[in-house]
């Protein structure tokens, strides 16, 4: 399946006044182009889990996520491609009308099981699941997820950059980038969660290294996971007008906003070269009212 997805990845220069004024050059790694349902970093984080599923001879994948989870729909699509059954354990009681993300996951053959938020914290697997299943953590969190994310940097000339930046929830992709980037390149992980104080330690636990050149930024969550403000949405529209790069309000919009604001505050030295990882997930924007975004 690799060649189907990966041949559309490009590294595109982005031209923003705030970067130019600071003497900074930036590119975006367009992982969002690889597949409509398995966008961005999702394929990379899942690839080694899939290898293990096949090696173990399992027939079903069970995983966890919320109503607008990119990970859920990606797992559903990949499971269908591999002829595997998939069950998504969904956080919260079942609503009268499920999100478009979950509708698509269901159409791809995923069984959806809704559990309370308290049960979800315990990551309970439904009774009767049997032994023929393979559990993948929420967001692909784990060493195999990080090792898969590390292969993202095979699709760019990483030594051209002083900084590599990504949005992060579980920290899995950030850990993979940190594993592969080396000591001379700083990895910037923009957290999309409010109060995720354990994020740095989660990233550290996955890298298996005593020290990495990684900085976690907690200033651009806009109120928490999947929260947004008019300032963020206006920025996303302006970004699209200037660069034709679409973003989402859960992850990549916050990443680009954060990097632009950090540049305005002189975080980056003149002459810095930035690589921003576009991790996909545009489908989450369908939860917004029509006309909110111009793309």
DSSP 150-194: HGGGGGS-GGG-SEEEEEESSSHHHHHHHHHH-TTSEEEEEE-ST
Domain edge (last residue) among 114, 140, 166: 140
Domain count, the chain: 2
Q: Which pLDDT belongs to residue 4?
A: 54
Looking at the structure, tell me whether residues 21 and 129 fall in a common domain: no
* Predicted local distance difference test score (pLDDT) of residue 249: 96
- Specify if 178 maps to a domain: yes
Strand order in the sheet with 85-91: 111-115, 85-91, 60-65, 133-136
83 with 179, same domain? no
Q: Is residue 182 pLDDT above 90, yes or no?
A: no
User: What is the pLDDT, as a whole number, of residue 98?
Assistant: 95
Please, what is the average pLDDT of the chain? Answer: 94
Are 18 and 47 found together in one domain? Answer: no
In tens, the pLDDT along 71-104 reads 999 999 999 999 999 999 999 999 999 999 999 9
Number of neighbours of residue 193 by Cβ within 10 angstroms: 18
In a shared domain, residues 6 and 118: no
Domain ends where: 113, 140, 167? Answer: 140
> What confidence tens digit (pLDDT) does each residue in 139-160 have?
999 999 999 999 999 999 999 9
Q: What is the mean pLDDT of residues 199-206?
A: 94
Tell me, yes or no, whether 72 and 178 share the same domain: no
d(CA 72, CA 67): 9
The residues, any chain, with a CB within 8 Å of residue 232's CB and separated by 6 or more, are 222, 249, 253, 254, 257
Q: Are 255 and 7 in contact (CB under 8 A)?
A: no
What the block records as the tokens of 33 is: 């182009």
The parent domain of residue 59 ranges over 41-140
Q: Are strands 25-30 and 11-14 parallel, antiparallel or unpaired?
A: antiparallel
Task: Tell me if 265 sits within 8 A of 18, measured CB to CB.
Answer: no
- 75: domain CATH number? 3.40.50.1100
Q: What is the mean pLDDT of residues 22-42?
A: 92
Q: Is residue 294 included in any domain, yes or no?
A: no
Mean pLDDT over 264-293 rounds to 94
- Per-residue pLDDT, averaged over 38-65, amounts to 95
197 shares a domain with 94: no
Contact 14, 253 (CB under 8 A): no
pLDDT at 220: 98
In the prediction, which pLDDT does 159 show? 95
CA-CA-CA-CA dihedral for 283, 38, 251, 230, to nearest 10: -10
Is 295 inside any structural domain? no
In this structure, what are the phi and psi dihedrals at residue 71, rounded to the nearest 5 degrees? Answer: -65, -40
Both 78 and 215 in one domain: the answer is: no
Q: What is the DSSP letter of 124?
A: P
Q: Which of 103-112, 119-128, 211-220, 250-259 has the lowest mean pLDDT?
A: 119-128
* Whether 113 and 151 share a structural domain: no
Which of the listed residues 92, 108, 140 is the one where a domain comes to its end? 140
- Identify the pLDDT of residue 3: 43
What is the value of pTM for the model shown?
0.93
16 and 161 share a domain? Answer: yes
Q: Is the pLDDT confidence value at 186 over 90?
A: yes
Average pLDDT over residues 201-206: 94
Write the CB contacts of 209 (distance below 8 Å, at least 6 apart in sequence): 178, 179
Position 201 scores a pLDDT of 93
* 292 within domain boundaries: no
Judgement on whether residues 154 and 218 belong to the same structural domain of the protein: yes
Q: Could you tell me if 211 and 274 lie in one domain?
A: yes
């Amino acid at each position: 399946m690799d060649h189907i997805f990966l041949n559309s990845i490009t590294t595109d220069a982005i031209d923003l006044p705030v970067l130019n004024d600071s003497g900074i050059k930036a590119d975006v790694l367009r992982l969002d182009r690889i597949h409509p349902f398995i966008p961005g970093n999702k394929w990379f984080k899942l690839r080694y889990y899939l290898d293990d599923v096949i090696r173990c001879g399992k027939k079903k994948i069970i995983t966890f996520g919320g109503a607008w989870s990119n990970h859920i729909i990606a797992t559903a699509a990949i499971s269908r491609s591999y002829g595997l059954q998939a069950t998504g354990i969904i956080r919260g009681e079942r609503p009268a009308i499920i999100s478009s993300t979950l509708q698509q996951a269901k159409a791809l053959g995923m069984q959806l099981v809704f559990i309370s938020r308290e049960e979800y914290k315990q990551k309970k697997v439904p009774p009767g699941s049997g032994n023929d299943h393979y559990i993948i953590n929420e967001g692909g969190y784990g060493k195999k997820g990080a090792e898969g994310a590390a292969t993202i940097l095979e699709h760019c000339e990483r030594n051209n950059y002083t900084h590599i930046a990504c949005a992060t929830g579980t920290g899995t992709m950030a850990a993979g980038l940190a594993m592969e980037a080396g000591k001379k390149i700083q990895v910037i992980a923009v957290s999309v969660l409010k109060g995720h104080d354990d994020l740095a330690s989660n990233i550290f636990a996955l890298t298996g290294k005593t020290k990495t050149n990684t900085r976690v930024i907690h200033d651009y969550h806009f109120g928490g996971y999947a929260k947004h403000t008019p300032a963020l949405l206006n920025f996303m529209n302006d970004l699209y007008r200037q660069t034709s790069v679409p973003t989402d309000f859960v992850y990549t919009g916050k990443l680009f906003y954060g990097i632009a604001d950090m540049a305005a505050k002189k975080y980056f030295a003149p002459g810095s070269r930035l690589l921003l990882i576009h991790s996909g997930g545009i489908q989450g924007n369908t939860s917004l009212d029509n006309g909110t975004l111009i793309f």
